[in-house]
Amino acid sequence: MAKNRKFSGKLAVGIFVDGLSLQVACLAKSGKKIRFVDAQIVKLATKLEATTAGAQIVEPIEPRSISELTPIDITSEASTPDLLLTETGRGAQDNASILIGVMGKYPKRKYKLAISVPEPYIYYATFESNWGLKKDKLKAKIIEEISKGRSGEPFKPDAINYIEFPDGSVLAIVRDLRIVLLDILDSVKKSIGGRIPKISFIETPEISLVNLVKLNYKFPPNSITVIVYVGHEFSRLIFMKGNDLYHISPLIGEGVDSYNIANTIYSRLILEQDNLGLPLINNIILAGEAQTSGVKEVLEQMFPEDVKIEYMKLPNLSPNGADPLLLENLPRVAVAIGSAWRTLNIENKELYAIDLTPFEIREGQKVFKLGLLGWLFLLLIPVLTFQVTTKIAQLNRTLLETQTELQRKKSELAELQTLQQQVDFARQRLAYYKSTFGVLDSMRVNTDIWSKFLHKVATEAQRVGRIWITDIGASDPKTITIRGYSLYRNRIPRFSNALENATLMQVQVQEIRGRTVYQFEIRASIGPEQRKEIKK
């Protein structure tokens, strides 16, 4: 399929990983026209696990024939109903090999790559105010706020982006984990052109979807639109007011394979609408695996007819002769398409310009240029090398003398350190014994009294019967509050009287699972006399 496809114009490839699903979309730009090239969804060999201390170990992959990883034709009838699903061939037993098969079909070094990363690699943080700050000062303040109470190093500026809203609030987008996909790309660079493809930016799937809607829809300023994304491992609701981002809901930890995901989406949508105080919703746009989850049918039953519910449409994308059946399934790879499209319209100021690319990746992609001054220094290198070599020889002699003296001092220091270690060890043991004795003494206080009192409560509750204790608390060492339920009102006073020196504070009638129950609160005092009684 790929080897017969013609690539022309400026190329951009969007890539997004959702669990074991790798989504890839390629678009081209000729003049102002955006053309569809291809799209596919590939099953990964293993899930990419996020990590803070570095990515999973990836061995360099030797170049291999792409024929080993030939995907099936995504437009053929044999692939229906899963039109974009690509099966890996023999030899693709790991994610690196799969990535070679996917990326290797594009012209080497002639396209830009846009990556969209979901949670847990990133997370969102909302602030009600921008503190009257702008740009770098605002970013520094955001880093200060989200770093509070966080162990380890503070966030670097390249890990933070933000969006300001008209009401002065700020949505911070934080890259919190190392992106494993970058390490895999680095390991296979020999097989896909000798280096990692030029990364245009790294953003989030929610921003990719919002930008894709902005590129293809025009809504009235006050209309409310909800983008419903259903993935393989998670789902998300994204609210827009007019053509601007309004709210991103908390992550829904269920995907297309979850039981009754359609009703879950509807319930969460109604909850978010109530929380945001929105009187109505005008449009609902479905993306991801919504086509195979039955979400559209459920929402059409629940919402009025004037609410427009549809799968994401891309009227401004030229089909470029693609199979109509394939084009109908493009909402499944909407995230990858959104990232690729923004890459081709990077100058569009209406799009949200989020970039979470690590600094070292961004710097490594810059082309080194040698100017006139650089050539001058290059000619002076032989002279500088001779002078530096002579100076190094002199310093080596001085260093040798200093090292001899240092070795003697180290021997003396080692003897003193041995004695110091013995003294420190003895002090640590002494402090340990003192703290242990203190803990043991404190643990003995009132343990008998409390143990016997709780035993009495349990015994009387069992004797009276139909009494359930849900909470026992002590506001002070002498007063205890007992809360619970009973099926019979008359057993509550019997239980209270059996505890002695207890006062029935209140009884409330409730209904649980169709039955009437009585919630009670009893306050008991443990004075000197009661403590003696418990000790007996």
Check whether 438 has a pLDDT greater than 80.
no
Do 415 and 474 sit in the same domain of this protein?
A: no
Note the pLDDT of residue 69.
34
Note the pLDDT of residue 76.
30
| Of 266, 236, 274, 237, residue with least CA distance to 253 | 236
State the sign of the Cα–Cα–Cα–Cα dihedral 44, 339, 268, 81: negative
Note the pLDDT of residue 381.
85
The Cα 442–Cα 334 span in angstroms is 62
Identify the bridge partners of residue 481 per DSSP, sorted by sequence position.
Answer: 473, 523
Do 225 and 143 sit in the same domain of this protein?
A: no
Note the pLDDT of residue 1.
38
Show the tokens assigned to 280.
């109505």
Is the residue at 318 inside a domain? Answer: no
Is the residue at 363 inside a domain? Answer: yes
- Residues 317 and 27 sit within 8 Å (Cβ to Cβ): yes
The range of the structural domain enclosing residue 502 comes to: 447-535
Between 508 and 105, the higher pLDDT residue: 508
Indicate yes or no: pTM above 0.75. no
Strands 170-175 and 198-203, by their bridges, are unpaired
Average pLDDT of the segment spanning 243-257: 93
C-alpha distances in Å from residue 376, one per residue of 133, 370, 379, 381, 382: 44, 10, 5, 9, 12
Q: Round the average pLDDT of the chain to a whole number and report it.
A: 83
Is the residue at 15 inside a domain? Answer: yes
- Residues 366 and 45 sit within 8 Å (Cβ to Cβ): no
Residue identified by tokens 């403590």 is 531
- Residues 24 and 333 sit within 8 Å (Cβ to Cβ): yes
The Cα 479–Cα 487 span in angstroms is 26
Out of 71-75, 311-315, 377-381, least confident range: 71-75
Between 478 and 370, the higher pLDDT residue: 478
Note the pLDDT of residue 236.
95
Note the pLDDT of residue 455.
87
Do 135 and 116 sit in the same domain of this protein?
A: no
Do 209 and 351 sit in the same domain of this protein?
A: yes
- Residues 64 and 91 sit within 8 Å (Cβ to Cβ): yes
Q: For 171-229, what is each residue's pLDDT tens digit?
A: 999 998 888 888 888 888 777 777 788 899 999 999 999 999 999 999 999 999 999 99
| Of 112, 86, 62, residue with least CA distance to 1 | 86
| Of 13, 252, 27, residue with least CA distance to 118 | 252
Do 181 and 52 sit in the same domain of this protein?
A: yes
Note the pLDDT of residue 498.
87
Show the tokens assigned to 42.
């590939």
Radius of gyration of the chain (CA): 34
Do 190 and 267 sit in the same domain of this protein?
A: no
Do 164 and 149 sit in the same domain of this protein?
A: yes
pLDDT band with cut points at 50, 70 and 90 for residue 445? low
Do 70 and 190 sit in the same domain of this protein?
A: yes
Do 208 and 356 sit in the same domain of this protein?
A: yes
Is the residue at 38 inside a domain? Answer: yes
- Residues 261 and 233 sit within 8 Å (Cβ to Cβ): no
Note the pLDDT of residue 517.
92
First vs last C-alpha separation in the chain:
88
Note the pLDDT of residue 336.
95
Of 312, 342, 359, which closes a domain? 312
Is the residue at 407 inside a domain? Answer: yes
Do 50 and 151 sit in the same domain of this protein?
A: no
Check whether 326 has a pLDDT greater than 60.
yes
Q: What is the CATH number of the domain that holds 520?
A: 3.30.1360
Check whether 329 has a pLDDT greater than 80.
yes
Q: What is the CATH number of the domain that holds 112?
A: 3.30.420.40
The Cα 460–Cα 454 span in angstroms is 10
Is the residue at 319 inside a domain? Answer: no
Query: DSSP code of 43?
Result: E
Is the residue at 317 inside a domain? Answer: no
Q: For 15-68, what is each residue's pLDDT tens digit?
A: 999 888 899 999 999 888 999 999 989 888 888 876 553 334 344 434 333 333
Do 50 and 16 sit in the same domain of this protein?
A: yes
Note the pLDDT of residue 171.
95
The Cα 66–Cα 76 span in angstroms is 20
Do 51 and 163 sit in the same domain of this protein?
A: no
Query: DSSP code of 358?
Result: -
Is the residue at 320 inside a domain? Answer: no
Please state the domain count of the chain. Answer: 5
Of 352, 368, 384, which closes a domain? 368
The Cα 250–Cα 272 span in angstroms is 9
Show the tokens assigned to 511.
């209904």
63 upstream amide cis, omega within 30 of 0: no
